[in-house]
Amino acid sequence: MHRFFVEPEAIARNTVTIIGPQARQMEEVLRLRPGDSIIVLDNSGWQYEVEIADLDEARATGTVKGKSLVTTEPQTKITVFQGLLKGERFEYVLQKGTELGVVGFVPVVCERCVVGQIREASSGKWQRWQRIVVEAAEQSERGKLPTLRPAVMFQQACENVRGFSVLAWEREQAVGLRNTLRHRLQQAPKGKKPGRLFSLNLFVGPEGGFTPEEVQRDPQVIEAYLGSEEEDGDDAGAA
């Protein structure tokens, strides 16, 4: 069944009302008709099976036939701090990251970002980026929408980040993702067994990568600089 994220107020008791572009998509693109069923999500982690009662290009209404928790959300919450990229490349990161289970995106202005990329981040691109996230979440059966924050400077991102943070850097020769995560999981409090990794902040640079000055700027924030890593014959590098 087709899936649609709606505002919480669109669901009132057992009735769902969808207006605007989504209703037009349902009628003109998907060719849905009264009697068809869809899945509606309100970004709370719940999903509703809805039978369409009435539909035209401006408005769709339906009746809730069932409600269940979405079980597809990842246990480890990964936030990607992505250096701004050229053209559609940043949109590709948003799309594929959403499909893979990323819970948050933070566009980051790095020293090797160009003026055009910064202008895109401060223009109407944000609304387009948000639509890409929503569409990818619907298609990949996510239960919640990843957050998409406004663009920030790299220094500001480092100052505000909280939790376990790693940075992908192509010049790092000794540390890789697998061993970094393994070491982190082994750092359990005294008397407790190693648990799972609840959250992870992943810093990824623009096309030119991070500058050496950026890499060394906040070593107290970034806990590991990830390069290539070979273990048991497999390439487990973060790149």
- Can you give the pLDDT at residue 50? 96
pLDDT > 70 in the chain, percent: 84
- Can you give the pLDDT at residue 222? 61
- 198 falls in which pLDDT band (50, 70, 90)? confident
- Report helix, strand or coil for 196: coil
Antiparallel, parallel or unpaired: β 147-148 and 104-109? parallel
Average pLDDT over residues 123-147: 91
Q: Is the pLDDT of residue 4 over 60?
A: yes
Q: Which domains, ranges and CATH numbers included, belong to the chain?
A: 3-69 (2.40.240.20), 77-235 (3.40.1280.10)
Q: Is the pLDDT of residue 55 over 80?
A: yes
Antiparallel, parallel or unpaired: β 77-83 and 59-69? unpaired
Burial 80-118 (b: 16+ CB within 10 A, else e): bbbbbbeeeebbebbbebbeebbbbbbbbbbeebeeebe
Q: What does pTM read for this prediction?
A: 0.83
